[in-house]
């Protein structure tokens, strides 16, 4: 193997100082445009790539953030990852990707996170157990996660205003004239789903004159198939809800397809429906699903701000929470009844 090209080689070729080469490759460093041009030309000719590792060893900072992903078959998580990647890159951070099979919690990423030298962890997944929260706190690096009920020292969270959205869903159903409201929950350990359900059920109970029988409750596992199966079972039991709030859009799409197949019921003529996440499929013509948009841009902005603060001089073992309101996107699925 030949000797790697060093910044000294580039400096010599460009006829500039070695510090000028270093500045040319440092984000935000002061350097005359002409000097920078000379350095980049020489670097291209010599096929030079700056080596960040000595800088990492000196600073103790890798500028590398562990991003834990899972459940990417849910388009919500896929778009969150894209948004997060763009935002972290703009902040001059690199992303070490840690993938977990779980679509809800980052707990199984702990082994990997323990062995990597990252400056921080950012994830759209929640923390699943007190033990995981404790181990993450022990890393003594900032951890930012979405929709996590569990936090701890060093761990901050950005949450969608799930409870408020649940209340809003009940109001929308009231204005549609729904007489038999139903709730399709996600898995028990999905804290965001629980908060959505609590809000919705509270909204229905607050209107007990209209809805004396309360809420018809079902449960899925956040997948399309589980929404489809839940409605099939419900209809087979002879239940006939006329307003369905689903904890996420994937299950709502499955539920709508089950109604369609059943034949006698139709959304929105006999059943109005609402979902959560505003995934692209909610806008597809086969669905036209009214949904709560988590505003991924705002969630990611809030996460990046928390990260900036945590990596700054006032960082440390603090724990902050940022709440982002969901935005109601109204489509055909709530356009009828009454």
Contact residues: a copy of itself, CB under 8 A: 1, 4, 25, 47, 49-53, 56-57, 60, 64, 67, 69, 72-73, 75, 78-79, 81-82, 85-86, 89, 94-99, 101, 112, 114-117, 138-140, 224, 228, 253-254, 256-258, 260-261, 280-281, 284-287
Does residue 244 sit in helix, strand or coil? strand
Choose between 33 and 54: whose C-beta lies nearer to a copy of itself.
Answer: 54
The Cα 149–Cα 93 span in angstroms is 27
Are 234 and 218 a contacting pair, CB within 8 Å?
Answer: yes
The tokens for 271 are 């059943």
Choose between 100 and 204: whose C-beta lies nearer to a copy of itself.
Answer: 100
Choose between 201 and 259: whose C-beta lies nearer to a copy of itself.
Answer: 259
User: From its phi and psi, is residue 119 left (phi > 0), alpha (psi between -120 and 50) or beta?
Assistant: alpha
Q: How far is the CB of 94 from a copy of itself (least distance, A)?
A: 6
* Crossing angle between the packed helical segments 7-14 and 33-46, to the nearest 10 degrees: 120
Q: How far is the CB of 115 from a copy of itself (least distance, A)?
A: 6
The Cα 307–Cα 315 span in angstroms is 9
Choose between 29 and 286: whose C-beta lies nearer to a copy of itself.
Answer: 286
The Cα 113–Cα 96 span in angstroms is 10
Q: How far is the CB of 311 from a copy of itself (least distance, A)?
A: 13
Q: How far is the CB of 171 from a copy of itself (least distance, A)?
A: 29
Choose between 135 and 164: whose C-beta lies nearer to a copy of itself.
Answer: 135
Q: How far is the CB of 67 from a copy of itself (least distance, A)?
A: 7
146 forms beta bridges with 158
């Amino acid at each position: 193997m030949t000797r790697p090209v060093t910044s000294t080689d580039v400096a010599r070729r460009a006829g500039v100082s070695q510090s000028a080469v270093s500045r040319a490759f440092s984000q935000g460093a002061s350097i005359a445009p002409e000097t920078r041009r000379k350095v980049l030309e020489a670097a291209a000719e010599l096929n030079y790539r700056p080596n960040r590792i000595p800088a990492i060893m000196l600073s103790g900072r890798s500028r590398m953030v562990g991003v834990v992903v899972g459940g990417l078959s849910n388009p919500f998580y896929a778009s969150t990852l894209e948004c997060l990647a763009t935002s972290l890159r703009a902040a001059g951070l690199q992303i070490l990707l840690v993938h977990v099979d779980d679509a809800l919690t980052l707990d199984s990423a702990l082994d990997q996170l323990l062995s990597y030298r990252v400056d921080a962890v950012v994830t759209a997944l929640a923390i699943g157990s007190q033990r995981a929260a404790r181990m993450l706190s022990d890393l003594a690096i900032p951890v930012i996660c979405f929709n996590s009920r569990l936090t701890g020292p060093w761990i901050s969270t950005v949450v969608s205003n799930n409870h408020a959205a649940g209340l809003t869903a009940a109001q929308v159903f009231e204005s549609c004239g729904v007489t038999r409201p139903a709730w399709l929950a996600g898995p028990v350990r999905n804290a965001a789903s629980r908060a959505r359900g609590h809000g919705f059920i509270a909204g229905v109970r607050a209107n007990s004159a209209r809805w004396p029988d309360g809420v018809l409750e079902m449960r899925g596992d956040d997948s399309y198939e589980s929404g489809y199966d839940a409605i099939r079972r419900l209809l087979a039991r002879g239940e006939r809800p006329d307003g369905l709030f689903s904890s996420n859009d994937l299950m709502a799409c499955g539920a709508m397809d089950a109604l369609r197949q059943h034949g006698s019921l139709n959304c929105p003529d006999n059943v109005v429906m609402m979902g959560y996440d505003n995934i692209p499929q909610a806008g597809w013509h086969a669905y036209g699903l009214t949904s709560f948009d988590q505003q991924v841009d705002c969630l990611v902005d809030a996460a990046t701000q928390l990260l900036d603060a945590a990596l700054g001089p006032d960082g440390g073992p603090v724990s902050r929470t940022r709440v982002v309101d969901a935005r109601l996107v109204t489509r055909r699925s709530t356009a009828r009844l009454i």
